[in-house]
Amino acid sequence: MLEKWRRRQIEEYKDINIPFICDEHQPLLTRFDYNERKMKLIRLASLNDKLAAIFEKHKEFQPITIHGFRHTHASILFEAGASIKDVQVRLGHTDIQTTMNIYTHVTNTAKEKVTNLFKSYMDL
């Protein structure tokens, strides 16, 4: 879905003669504001509205918000072994304390990984 959106976004940029630079600084979720004649970030509420429409069509999916996706992404990163600093940068928090306060609930899998890492080291 994100790839489809990116292709659509590129076309929108072309249609209004704004160069599209595909790098880490290019916002993914933008729309053209015809009143201000510029690209603007999409409101979070409109993304959640789009998700709600998808979940309405696909009852087999567990509903989740955009923020829920962000939280899940961070949790999976921690579980995969990413450092707190890696996740801070990925989420764009300026203060690492924010990341630690919100996202450091360690999952059982992550706890088990740490236990096994320590055990493996001690068995050497």
pLDDT in tens, 66-117: 889 889 999 889 888 888 899 999 999 999 888 888 876 765 677 788 888 8
pLDDT at 94: 93
pLDDT at 102: 85
pLDDT at 106: 62
Does the pTM surpass 0.75? The reply is no
pLDDT at 123: 87
Other C-beta atoms lying within 10 Å of the C-beta of residue 85? 10
Which of 45, 50, 13, 49 minimizes the C-alpha distance to 28? Answer: 13
